[in-house]
Homo-oligomer: A and B are copies of this chain.
């Protein structure tokens, strides 16, 4: 083993095989997560339409605080960094609020679904 970095192709076959096995699992998980997120956005689009139609505010700080507390607890049980789980939820919520504001604008402008 040298102290300088080597390219993955230079690693011995057993290492490359193990790396390929782990990457296959990562790719499977990513496909599952993408499909879960697609389903999640279908739900939040419906929430957005409902809120726009009934003039409810796009953001809901109380709901978000409960979601964050719950996800942090779930993350701890699953041995995932709770700080990362919170960052992840904030990342998703930012996207959802962007969608909701767009839906609200479209509704006010009479252009909605």
Binding site for B on A (CB under 8 A): 1-8, 11-12, 15, 18-19, 22-23, 25-27, 29-41, 43-44, 46-47, 50-51, 53-57, 60, 63, 67, 70-71, 74-75, 78-80, 84-85, 88-89, 91, 95
Which B residues touch A63, using CB under 8 A?
23
Contact of A5 among B41, B57, B74, B80 (CB under 8 A): B57
Q: How far is the CB of A78 from chain B (nearest CB, A)?
A: 4
Expressed in whole angstroms, the Cα–Cα distance for A84 and B1 within the complex equals: 40
A35-B78 contact, Cβ under 8 Å, with A11-B56, A22-B46, A84-B95:
yes
**Contact between B36 and A33, CB atoms less than 8 A apart:** yes
